Amino acid sequence: MNLELRGAARQIAAGEQDQGLARLQALADGGDLEAHNLLGEVYTGLDGVVRDRARSCEHFRVAREARPSAAHNYGQCLWEGAFGERELEQARVWYGRGADGGFLQAKCALGNMLIKGEGGAAEPERGVALCRQAADAGDPNAQADMGDHYGGGRGVAQDYAMARQWYERAAAQRQRNAAFQRGVLDWNGLGGPIDLVSASRWLEQAYEAGRKDAAILVGRSAFVRAVPNAPRGPVDVVLLAQAKRWYEIVVVEDPDPEARSRAAVMLAQISGYEALAREQTGGE
């Protein structure tokens, strides 16, 4: 990255977004493919810039030959259908270009398409091998995908114990979907006993990493443990307070209106159990 690009990137990171974007756009207008690539990355929502997927993908289209990561990102745009219809055959091509250049995310992105038979014939063994290469090299997204493959029996024999291992490796790198899915395995007793306490820890980690939809499950776990004999007591007031706090978070933050509605219903129920708890303690 040349000095001008570095300067623009530093401005954006420092909150001087308008000035930094203007500098990058001037470089891109002058034919600088690295500037196009950086603009593509920035418009994914990087450094607080408002996400603009159409603009991001157009920059990646121009920069697709510049570096393996740009080829991958252009492939992702094609896979999503950012230019209209999904272009799965071409997505395979550009993921392949990124993978051939050594970009780890591109390897597993191509691998996932091969496993599912997207954009061409299914090649599950080759697809899993590509994902495993990227996962073994430390890519957290590929590690999470390996967890999905073992959990769902996609391209490999279903093995929840292996799914747990891969999710844990990815979650250690703050891969939010891996933490979420690891919690789901504990919740459902897949690959081990049902363990709502452990499930809550993983789901809280997923929430902290950005999975807002994890909050309602954390609240549910606390509620179930607070009132194990619902609708009767006893009531664990500490756990009930935790459940209330998480449901209040859901009402404010969950992007799903149905989840917010369910949380509001649960908060009303919790009010009743708070009254029951006061009766248990003689109104204290």
Residue 188 has pLDDT above 90, yes or no: yes
Residue 242 has pLDDT above 60, yes or no: yes
Higher pLDDT, 261 or 276: 261
The phi-psi region of residue 138 (left if phi > 0; otherwise alpha if psi is between -120 and 50; otherwise beta) is left
Residue 280 has pLDDT above 80, yes or no: no
Q: How far apart are CA 192 and CA 163, in angstroms?
A: 11
Report, in angstroms and rounded to the nearest whole number, the Rg of the chain calculated over CA atoms. 23
Taken in order 60, 77, 176, 114, the sign of the CA dihedral is negative
Q: How far apart are CA 50 and CA 43, in angstroms?
A: 7
Break the chain down into helix, strand, coil percent, rounded to 5.
75, 0, 25
User: What percentage of the chain reaches a pLDDT higher than 70?
Assistant: 99
Query: Could you tell me the pLDDT band of residue 284, with boundaries at 50, 70 and 90?
Result: low
Residue 223 has pLDDT above 90, yes or no: yes
- The three-state secondary structure class of 156 is coil
Mean pLDDT computed over every residue of the chain: 95
If you average pLDDT over residues 153-160, what whole number do you get?
Answer: 96
- Point out the least confidently predicted range of 33-37, 108-112, 173-177, 233-237: 233-237
Interval 44-62: pLDDT, tens? 988 888 999 999 999 999 9
Read off the tokens for 135: 């996962």
Instruction: State the angle between helix axes of 196-208 and 215-226 in degrees (0 to 180), rounded to the nearest 10.
Output: 150
Q: Helices then strands (H, E): number in the chain?
A: 15, 0
Residue 263 has pLDDT above 90, yes or no: yes
If you average pLDDT over residues 70-75, what whole number do you get?
Answer: 98
Q: How far apart are CA 123 and CA 251, in angstroms?
A: 44
If you average pLDDT over residues 243-249, what whole number do you get?
Answer: 98
If you average pLDDT over residues 233-244, what whole number do you get?
Answer: 94
| Of 91, 39, 86, nearest in space to 62 by CA | 39
Tell the residue number behind the tokens 């920059």, with chain if given.
59
Query: Could you tell me the pLDDT band of residue 282, with boundaries at 50, 70 and 90?
Result: low
Interval 91-127: pLDDT, tens? 999 999 999 999 999 999 999 999 999 999 999 999 9
pTM of the complete model: 0.88
Query: Could you tell me the pLDDT band of residue 209, with boundaries at 50, 70 and 90?
Result: very high
If you average pLDDT over residues 247-274, what whole number do you get?
Answer: 96
Which pLDDT does position 283 carry in this prediction?
Answer: 56
